[in-house]
Amino acid sequence: MKDILIRKNGHVGHITLNRPKALNALTYDMILEIEKALISWKENTKIKLILVDSNGDKAFCSGGDVSNLYRYGVSGNYKFGKLFWADEYRLNLLIANYPKPYVVFMQGFTMGGGVGISCHGSHRIVGNTSIIAMPECGIGLVPDVGGSFLLTRKSKELGIYLGITGSHMKADDAIFTNFADFFIEEKYWEEAKSKLIKTGDTTFLNKFKRESLNSSLKKNLRLIIDLFSINKLSLIIKEMEMNPVFVQSVKKMLSASPLSVLTSYHMLQMPEIFLSVKEALKIEYRFTSRAQEYTDFQEGIRSMIIDKDRNPVWKYPNIEEVPIQEVFDLLKPLSSSSELKI
């Protein structure tokens, strides 16, 4: 069974992720295949739009398949990881700048690398089961695939909160934070896809725009902004621990890599990430290209994905013990030959 189905279908270039048992996690080959298809359809006048979906109910895409990165990293080979991230980020930027409508249907979980191939698109559809998140700190990484740019579009403070806690966003939250555009009940998705394929026209989707009335993030926005306006993370955490609104999110954050959490906190305030997806990707790559060698990433993958003991031994026991210079070193420019070229 092929991991990805790519075909011309009516007026659309149709991409379907096809690894439902692996929650449609993106392999390196899948990334390259998507990029190749998008480039070939760019100038094809018969293709009016791109339609992206996936098979399986549980997830549109749970993220990148990083098991191979782990295996290479264990052997001391960090070149594959750098190649994986560089090529993935190039795809993310291609999607963000794509000249044709890019319509994506996100059922179930859309996380990490899944966000990178969906939420940079022009027409992002969520439904009853949709859950979107950037949970990278939990595996010793930082929000990447251009996610740092997406997270901060609504507000810097909200972006920091979502980025360091990995909090889940249901449909209304995703629309409120600009991770999604349209809500369509999932029982009508096949009908909507058929109409796109038949007409090559996205105009009818406009009737599915809606206010994010039931967004818990909207309800708590002022509280989050006030809290994350405090200029020290340790003080923010103390306030979160005393507020019942943040019981689950602070628990999740405190179980994540302290090094990743503190680095993400600082990264999500860097001026560059507010400029464009391209500039955000460059900043993210400075961390990810160093991740296997210098951070908690290998241990996070071992614990959460390889051994699945969910008992990681992080470099530092808590945020207070993370040397701030180490954070700055992970985000500082690479050599000119090593910086991300996109």
pLDDT digits (tens, 9 = 90+) for 30-69: 999 999 999 999 999 999 999 999 999 999 999 999 999 9
- If you count them, how many residues does the chain have? 342
Using 50, 70 and 90 to split pLDDT, how confident is the model at 203?
Answer: very high
Q: Could you give the strand order of the β-sheet that contains 131-133, starting from the edge strand earlier in sequence?
A: 59-61, 109-111, 131-133
Cβ-Cβ contacts under 8 Å for 299 (sequence gap 6 or more) = 140, 312, 313, 314, 315
Q: Is pLDDT at 325 greater than 90 in this prediction?
A: yes
Farthest CA pair distance, the chain = 58
Give which of 164, 184, 222 is closest to 174, Cα–Cα.
184
Q: Angle formed by the axes of helices 67-74 and 277-294, to 10°?
A: 40
Strands, E, within 158-255: which ranges?
Answer: 182-183
Q: What domains appear along the chain, each with residue ranges and CATH number?
A: 4-331 (3.90.226.10)
Strands, E, within the chain: which ranges?
Answer: 4-9, 12-17, 49-54, 59-61, 102-106, 109-111, 123-126, 131-133, 182-183
CA distance 129 to 304: 23
pTM (two decimals): 0.97
Which tens digit of pLDDT belongs to each residue from 248-280?
999 999 999 999 999 999 999 999 999 999 999
Q: Is pLDDT at 1 greater than 90 in this prediction?
A: no
For 22-53, b where at least 16 C-beta lie within 10 A, e where not — what string?
bbbbbbbebbebbbebbeebeeeeebbbbbbb
Cβ-Cβ contacts under 8 Å for 242 (sequence gap 6 or more) = none
Which tens digit of pLDDT belongs to each residue from 75-129?
999 999 999 999 999 999 999 999 999 999 999 999 999 999 999 999 999 999 9
Residue 259 contacts residue 104 (beta carbons within 8 Å): no
Give the pLDDT confidence score for residue 188 in this predicted structure.
Answer: 98
Residue 312, φ and ψ in degrees, nearest 5: -70, 145
Measured between alpha carbons, how far is residue 338 from residues 77, 282, 315 in Å?
16, 11, 25
Q: Which amino acid is at 36?
A: K
Residue 82, φ and ψ in degrees, nearest 5: -65, -40
Token pair recorded at residue 56: 């399986």
State the CB neighbour count (10 A cutoff) for residue 328: 11
Q: Is pLDDT at 210 greater than 90 in this prediction?
A: no
Listing DSSP states for 75-95 in one string gives: TT--HHHHHHHHHHHHHHHHH
3-state secondary structure of 11: coil
Give the pLDDT confidence score for residue 224 in this predicted structure.
Answer: 98
Q: Which amino acid is at 314?
A: W
Q: Which amino acid is at 323?
A: P
